[in-house]
Amino acid sequence: MNRIDLNCDLGESFGAWHMGEDAALLALVSSANVACGFHAGDPAIMQRTVALAVERGVAIGAHVSLPDLQGFGRREMAVTPAEVHAMTLYQLGALHAFARAAGATVAHVKPHGALYHMAARDRALAAAIADAVRAFDPALALFGLAGSVLLEAGRAAGLRVVSEAFADRRYRADGSLQPRREPDAVIDDADTATAQALRMAQHGEVIAVDGQRVALTADTLCLHGDGAHAVDFARRLRAALEAAGLRIAAPAAA
């Protein structure tokens, strides 16, 4: 592999409440997952985030979520596949309006938080998301956890899928992410997170919490934009990847 995508969840402020340093991060990543109002974001913030992404030449993606502003989309909800299908279309349509008004297009879709993890293991919910994406625009790419059923559903729907890995999250031996509620699920040390990202990008593997080597495909690496040192880490990680001979670029269009 001589290229890797860096994606970041952005546009996650809400009204007067500020989250992340979007402008600085957009100078460092190649894909932006823009909150669509269900877990974070509002119309003005969506519009501003899209404009910044267009200015920086960053690919725009819809970060679709369960409707959970209070819980930041990280709480699981009892939703049906039909509801998830409708939620996905609704949020995609909202972001598409801002992208079109800015002379841009939506390039990909990535579920957020609890919906991401639910769709990684639940085939019916995964299929609902994939079918909604295909119904909206079959040229869109679907981002999902490497090795998950969401990517299987995307392939079955004829979509281009992008396998995602996380620089700053611990993995279990089955390839799933260690839940945030558990101790040390998030890697706070920049050196450790950078080393893990390089291992995934260059060698297609990660060391699980039990010490096992787990194979995974990393087409894109996710950077979390809400940490205290998110910009510094993003700058450091990008420099390390480029020093290793990797070109930072959004996934190629079909």
pLDDT tens for residues 28-60? Answer: 999 999 999 999 999 999 999 999 999 999 999
Measured in residues, the chain has a length of 254
The arithmetic mean of pLDDT across residues 133-148, rounded, is: 97
> Cβ(60)–Cβ(99) under 8 Å?
yes
Separation of alpha carbons 27 and 29, rounded Å: 6
pLDDT attached to residue 20: 87
What's the pTM value of the predicted model, to 2 decimals? 0.94
Separation of alpha carbons 233 and 192, rounded Å: 11
> How many C-beta atoms lie closer than 10 Å to residue 37's C-beta?
21
